[in-house]
Structure 1
Amino acid sequence: MEPLKLVALDEVDLAVISAHLQDAHAPLAEIAYLPREKRFALCMARLEWEADPDSPPRRRLTGLHFERVLSARSRNIDPTRKDDSAELIGIVFEPGDSPSGAITLFFSQDRAVRLEVECIEAQMRDMGPVWEVESRPRHDEDAP
């Protein structure tokens, strides 16, 4: 499977990145807000959802960064617990005064990061390595 490199400049693009990163494992030590650069970045181990479902499930190291970030706030994330990790559930954009708004990254265990942004400008990039895992998470499609 070829490494992915995706750019998001609007809500539709961001939804595509969110889908590729669903269930990614994000070590808290690999999450950083760089206010001077107006950048928020994290590294994760994402599942290769785009792979053939009959092939063995694999994860790969992936980076995600957001540009033009004005502020970042977190909920239920303790930055001193560097050995902890969270599972990404999804990424949502809430419009403000166009083109600004808020991007929220929702994680397992009621954790979240909210980014106030000038506009949507994000990039997801597979960086390698790739490794097989036991199984893919199952999601109940009939759940409300």
Structure 2
Amino acid sequence: MKVRAENAEDMVVMAAYLQDAVVPVEDMAFQPGDETMPGEFVLVAHRFRWEMLGPQEQPVAGDRYERVLCGITFQGVYRARLSGIDRQRDRGDFLDLLTVRAAEGDGAAHVELIFAGDKAIRLEVARTDIVAEDFGEPWPTIFRPHHPVEAR
């Protein structure tokens, strides 16, 4: 499966597609550009295959859930700022992706990757241009991400 996000409506789909992906810190990289062209931020995630669930949120293909490797490229990136993540100290850690969102503020556009544990990556971008593509074979997992409902 391949998904591209270029605007606010696309970002809603991208966020749903990537929700609960597990991202190894060591599988993220910022490739800076130069004066004439911005760079890109890339990562490989272990994406939970939400699209494989039926109406009762049970697996469509039998009694198992699945994850698959997913390469994600953020084009047109000027700067990557990490919050709560130390690329050297946390190199062997895994981050749980909660959502991805695009916004404008402070006179610049940015994309935020929000992770569990108050961790985040903020990408200052020329424009929203994200491509996520699965690769390799999916593998089974007995674990389905679960989010407790907060009392209001």
TM-score relative to the length of structure 2 = 0.85
Structure 2, unaligned runs of 5 or more: none
Deviation at 1:82, TM superposition (A): 1.7
Deviation at 1:54, TM superposition (A): 2.5
* Alignment counterpart, residue 121 of structure 1, candidates 129, 146, 151: 129
Per-residue CA deviation, residues 28-83 of structure 1 (Å, 9 max, x unaligned), is 00011111261001000010001133322100000111101111100011111321
Deviation at 1:96, TM superposition (A): 4.3
**Cα distance in structure 2, aligned partners of 1:88 and 1:24:** 5
**Cα distance in structure 2, aligned partners of 1:124 and 1:71:** 20
Aligned to 2:47: 46
1:91 aligns with 2:100: yes
Amino acid at match of 2:6: L
Secondary structure of the residue that 2:51 maps to in structure 1? coil
Structure 1, unaligned runs of 5 or more: none
Percent pairwise identity: 32
* Alignment counterpart, residue 17 of structure 1, candidates 14, 19, 22: 14
- Judged with a 3 Å threshold, the aligned counterparts in structure 2 of structure 1 residues 143 and 124 are, in CA distance, closer, same or farther, namely farther
* Alignment counterpart, residue 32 of structure 1, candidates 29, 33, 57: 29
1:5 aligns with 2:6: no
CA RMSD of aligned residues (A): 1.8
Amino acid at match of 1:111: K
How many residues are matched? Answer: 140
Aligned to 1:58: 66
Aligned to 1:106: 114
Secondary structure of the residue that 1:95 maps to in structure 2? strand
- Judged with a 3 Å threshold, the aligned counterparts in structure 2 of structure 1 residues 142 and 97 are, in CA distance, closer, same or farther, namely closer
* Alignment counterpart, residue 138 of structure 2, candidates 107, 110, 130: 130
1:74 aligns with 2:48: no
